[in-house]
Structure 1
Amino acid sequence: MRALDAVTTVGCVRVVTWNVNSVKQRVPRLLPWLDQRKPDVVCLQETKLADDAFTALLGDALGERGYEFALFGETQWNGVALLSRVGLDDIAVGVAGAPGFPHIEARAVAATCGGVRVHSLYVPNGREPESDHYKYKLEWLASLRDVLEAGPADALVCGDINIAPTDADVFDPEAYIGQTHVTEPERAALEAIKALGFHDVVRDRWPNERVFSYWDYRAGMFHRDLGMRIDLILASDSVAPRVRAAWIDRHARKGTGPSDHAPVIVDLDEAPDGDIGPVVPPPSSPGGKKKVKLPQAK
């Protein structure tokens, strides 16, 4: 990586991470949303397109909006992208030293944008505790930690991390017993990354509120606000003090043809929509007293 003292730092930057769950399916939502929210740096996950197909689909439209982009995609599965209007330097794809399953999947792309090293990540799901995919997830996260430790001080880790940091980040901890995303080893792997000096800036802004970023399509989970917070933006010690707003755009999860994830938005240096953003989390509505079983639970 190029040292950050060789890169001009840009202020007043809006950074977004969004698992779009197929960029091809989400074009009617994505482009109007970019025009509405006007982010400077956009981290996308689950693009599900090879790089040439992504470029053919969105290259002109993104260029018209002033975005350069870096891609690491594959057909049908995974895929990450990084869009920037504040520079896109020292692009790196993948996570050095990370395992494959069995091949190296398209799960990480990083670049220096406006003087900050930005990582767009789609962490492996894990599938089932103690499965081979779960072990792959933990090994992948350990390699990511090594990359971040060796990287520049000014950094943002953005993406679908596929870990709910605490029990407060799921609608009902009991519903997730025996599931991935909430196990102690996964949370410990995330804490090891945060121990490098990274701050969970959305939770810092909303310490006690019910704030989710993902709701299963099935069983009316979104309408009952039965979700998880697994999409994160982690800011390094040097970048975190610049955060003026950090919020989740629930409106992008509403309407026709949404992703099952909502965008996470962080404003550095200035907050054009106010210090907590325009979208206040809804009042807690855990779907009544009846216990809810996860759609994927056996």
Structure 2
Amino acid sequence: MKIATYNVNGVNGRLPVLLRWLDKAQPDVVCLQELKAPQEKFPMKAIEDAGYGAIWNGQKSWNGVAILAKGHDPHQTRRGLPGEPDDVQSRYIEAAIDGVIIGCLYLPNGNPAPGPKLEYKLRWFKRLHDYAAELLELDVPVVLAGDYNVMPTELDVYKPERWVDDALFRPEVRQAFHDLVGQGWTDAVRKLYPDDVIYTFWDYFRNAYVRNAGLRIDHFLLSPAIADDLKKANVDKDVRGWDHSSDHAPVWIEIAT
């Protein structure tokens, strides 16, 4: 099973890029973030024509997450994280696909920091931490994939000294990620490439993509029931260089099934 995550940065505005990549990469499952489209504006017809079923949690202008499954409709198991009933931001959706629970997430950015946005990010991280613990107790294959908006280590960021006060790299944010992984999750990319410089995001400014001045903020966390089945992982970096592409590149893993 080939599972991908892709912060598409506007599913309608970048639909040609998404469809081109789907045709080229042929993933079995795709987690999308930053749809930037209300529920009724998700381009379901184009996605179906590409051979995928989908569930999605849209939101006007911002946020929004979706899960695509090649050849069939994902079975939704959760929409939104528990723990904060008044939270209206569309940042989590979950489905069961071929015996695997797929959680698609878009963690808050948290900037400017310190401030309310960082506080919200840390609360969201705590909610994810608590819910992830429940998923582990099920002792089933689980993949938590998406844009975590955190660079876990200095290896994951170009010139880390420039990011020390940013909400994507502040110590408390990195600690929240490490605490989450410490429950028993496996960082898929780092399991296969523990020492490699790997980025998944390049800013639009200052020629970042050409200079490879990037960040690794899109991650796959695997539960113990599936971690040993991990066979491959990669970033489709070339997609970031396509015309009118997202500032993220698709990231994917292959699981033996």
Band of TM-score, shorter chain: over 0.9
- Structure 1 residue 81: deviation in Å? 0.5
8 Å Cα contact 2:19-2:50 kept in structure 1: no
> Separation in 2 of the partners of 1:255 and 1:33?
10
Alignment of 1:28 with 2:16, yes or no, is: yes
Structure 1 stretches of 4+ moved >4 Å: none
SS at 1:259's partner residue?
A: coil
- Structure 1 residue 99: deviation in Å? 6.6
Q: Which residue number corresponds to residue 17 of structure 1?
A: 5
In structure 2, the gaps of 5 or more residues are: none
8 Å Cα contact 2:152-2:174 kept in structure 1: yes
SS at 1:251's partner residue?
A: helix
Instruction: Write the letter of the residue equivalent to 1:220.
Output: N
Q: Which residue number corresponds to residue 69 of structure 2?
A: 84
Alignment of 1:59 with 2:47, yes or no, is: no
- Structure 1 residue 70: deviation in Å? 1.0
SS at 2:143's partner residue?
A: strand
Q: Which residue number corresponds to residue 241 of structure 1?
A: 228
SS at 1:34's partner residue?
A: helix
Matches within 5 A, 1:284-295: none
> Separation in 1 of the partners of 2:112 and 2:49?
43
Alignment of 1:262 with 2:246, yes or no, is: no
- Structure 1 residue 48: deviation in Å? 0.3
Q: Which residue number corresponds to residue 46 of structure 1?
A: 34
User: What CA RMSD, in Å, does the superposition of the two structures yield over aligned residues?
Assistant: 1.4
Q: Which residue number corresponds to residue 81 of structure 2?
A: 95
Q: Which residue number corresponds to residue 73 of structure 1?
A: 58
Q: Which residue number corresponds to residue 120 of structure 2?
A: 136
8 Å Cα contact 1:82-1:120 kept in structure 2: yes
8 Å Cα contact 1:16-1:39 kept in structure 2: yes
- Structure 1 residue 62: deviation in Å? 2.0
8 Å Cα contact 1:80-1:108 kept in structure 2: yes
Q: Which residue number corresponds to residue 166 of structure 2?
A: 179
> Separation in 1 of the partners of 2:191 and 2:134?
25
SS at 1:24's partner residue?
A: coil
| Percent of aligned pairs with the same amino acid | 34
After superposition, what is the alpha-carbon deviation per residue over 1:81-137, rounded to whole angstroms, capped at 9, x for unaligned? 11113652243111011375xx42011101111111111111000003321110110
- Structure 1 residue 145: deviation in Å? 1.2
Instruction: Write the letter of the residue equivalent to 1:199.
Output: T
Instruction: Write the letter of the residue equivalent to 2:88.
Output: I
Q: Between Structure 1 and Structure 2, how many residues are aligned?
A: 253
> Separation in 2 of the partners of 1:82 and 1:93?
11
Q: Which residue number corresponds to residue 209 of structure 2?
A: 222
After superposition, what is the alpha-carbon deviation per residue over 1:40-72, rounded to whole angstroms, capped at 9, x for unaligned? 110000000111110xxx212222333221111
After superposition, what is the alpha-carbon deviation per residue over 1:189-238, rounded to whole angstroms, capped at 9, x for unaligned? 11121122111111121211111001110010111000100000111111
User: After the TM superposition, which of the residue ranges 161-170 and 200-209 deviates more from structure 2?
Assistant: 200-209
> Separation in 2 of the partners of 1:98 and 1:267?
33
Higher strand proportion, which one?
Answer: 2
Which of 1 and 2 has greater Rg?
A: 1
Instruction: Write the letter of the residue equivalent to 1:209.
Output: D
SS at 1:158's partner residue?
A: strand
Distance 1:239 1:122, change over 3 A: same
8 Å Cα contact 1:87-1:112 kept in structure 2: no
Match of 2:131 among 119, 144, 147: 147
TM-score by length of structure 2 reads 0.94
TM-score by length of structure 1 reads 0.82
Distance 1:99 1:212, change over 3 A: farther
Alignment of 1:108 with 2:92, yes or no, is: yes
- Structure 1 residue 75: deviation in Å? 0.8
Q: Which residue number corresponds to residue 253 of structure 1?
A: 240
Match of 1:120 among 83, 104, 109: 104
